[in-house]
Amino acid sequence: MRLEVASFPVRQAVFGSRTALEGETLSINRAELTANALAPTASLRGVRVDLVCPGEPARIIHALDVVEPRCKLAGPGRVFPGFLGEPVTVGEGRTNRLDGAAVVATAPVMWEDNGITVKEAVIDMVPPGSDYTPFSRTANIVLSFELDEHAGFAQWDHDIRLATLIAAEYLARCTAALRPAPDALRIYDLGPAAAQGDGAAGSRLPRVLYVCTLMTEGSVHNTFVYGRRVAGLPAWLHPNEFFDGAIISGNHHIAADRNPTYFQENNPVIEALYAEHGKTLEFGGVIVAETQQTSFADKERAAGQTAKLARWLGADGVIVTHDTAGHAAVNLMLTCQRCEQLGIRTVLLVNELNGPEGTDFGLVFAIPEADAIVSSGNKDQIIRLAPVATVVGGDGIWDWRGYDDPVEGNARDGFSTSLRRLYCSTTQIGAETLTSAAF
């Protein structure tokens, strides 16, 4: 599968009479964007569109998902297959992306399903919060949805997701007639990996696979593969399928843990393995696996089948990224253990729960074979957010009471919080630079 991805840099977004990319400024026709996004939805009464760019004294609250604008110009299918078109296998042809732009979906949805709730998710554009969330560095097109109170959460959730994906494709379409700079066109093609140049004759590069665990639990924790909730046994995907939006996030639980659609489209592990393909390793593709099964038997079955598939695909090593938290950590560790037992060297990427002082044991569950772990930070770390001039996405912070804020306050105020509330602050997909080190 050969995919060309053309990147068009965006440094700021403004409203204008037409939607167009002028230099590195994305001009947006607000009425047209709104009409496109809401056209196929039934439970959304309206949408407010705000633009929030780096450096502005602003705070985005109630964030649900973030999507990078992309569109397909050639090849089978359409971006975000299963939602915007038939679930045709994607990953070939030509795809355009707005590099530096992000569509942020927000809504005042308080929902609980079997004890699992939608959690507050904050994106701060000013320090210190901006240092912890990657979307302080993107030009954000924020969609704040007004909901039909007679519809239920499942319908709101579906319609918000659909409208957000439509908006992302609509924005990227403005690049259809543009030519990217020569250094902004990248070709993704898993060609043959050459043998090691400094090894013995006939030696080969180690074959490394990526195991991308995906969350599904109730109606608040979801991940979609080609438009369907991930479920059942693991499957192999070509890495190019990620770049065309085959994986869509529906996780609205703890903000720090989320792996949004944006980081599936720009998956850092896939990018890193592609960069080393044919140099230090042979990239063998991606195994997607459901995590957070409720019974130990289901966890064991998933781990065993994932390890078996990795061995059948010839893996010498695997990188496993975590999705969410709680007893899904058992899935993560069992997968590591079963791979290691089959002789497959395993590296885990996971965040920690070390407590506010960083002194607690950081993992819910661990096994002796987990001897190569990359931390994406301590989500229990406490910081105090600065006051801001503008709040977008809602009127008030959910569950305001913080560590030294005993009374309710205004969403523009400064307040103390753990990193749990900061969107993607410790995302476990390798997208940020925050980590923990052992001394």
* Domain residue ranges of the chain, discontinuous segments joined by +: 2-176+203-421
What's the pLDDT at 201? 47
Q: Residue 247 pLDDT more than 60?
A: yes
CB 334, CB 226: distance < 8 Å: no
Structure confidence by residue, pLDDT tens digits, 330-351: 999 999 999 999 999 999 999 9
The sign of the CA dihedral 238, 240, 242, 246 is negative
State how far the Cα of 231 lies from the Cα of 362, in Å rounded to an integer: 28
Asked if omega into 54 is within 30° of 0 (cis), the reply is: no
Q: State the number of CA atoms in the 13 A half-sphere of 384 facing the CB.
A: 7
CB contact set of 312 (below 8 Å; sequence gap of 6+): none
pLDDT digits (tens, 9 = 90+) for 101-143: 999 999 987 777 767 788 899 999 999 999 999 999 999 999 9
- Please determine, for residue 400, whether its predicted confidence score (pLDDT) is greater than 90: no
Predicted local confidence at residue 362, as pLDDT: 80
What percent of the chain is modeled with pLDDT above 70?
Answer: 94
- Residues 6 or more apart from 370 whose CB is under 8 A from it? 333, 336, 337, 346, 348
Task: For the sheet with 20-22, list strands across it.
Answer: 12-15, 25-28, 20-22
The whole-chain average pLDDT of the chain stands at: 91
Q: Is the pLDDT of residue 439 over 70?
A: no
**Band (203; pLDDT cuts 50, 70, 90):** confident
Total residues found in the chain within this entry = 439
Banded pLDDT at 356 (limits 50, 70, 90) = confident
Q: Which two tokens stand for residue 336?
A: 């590591």
Q: pLDDT-based confidence at 26, cuts 50/70/90?
A: very high
| pLDDT value of position 354 | 85
Give the lowest-confidence range in 62-76, 156-170, 201-215, 260-274.
Answer: 201-215
d(CA 48, CA 173): 21
pTM of the model: 0.94
Supply the pLDDT for residue 149: 87
Q: How many CB atoms lie within 10 A of CB 50?
A: 19
pLDDT exceeds 90 at position 402 = no
* pLDDT value for 360: 81
Distance in angstroms (rounded) separating the CA atoms of residues 76 and 97? 17
CB 165 within 8 A of CB 84: yes
Q: Are the CB atoms for 18 and 29 separated by under 8 Å?
A: yes
In the chain, the amino acid numbered 164 is T
- Provide the pLDDT for residue 407: 56
Phi–psi pair at 21, nearest 5 degrees: -100, 115
Q: Per-residue confidence at 329, pLDDT binned at 50, 70, 90? A: confident
DSSP, collapsed to helix, strand or coil, labels residue 65 as: strand
In angstroms, the CA 196 to CA 65 distance is 42
pLDDT for res 11 = 96
**Is the pLDDT assigned to residue 196 strictly greater than 60?**
no
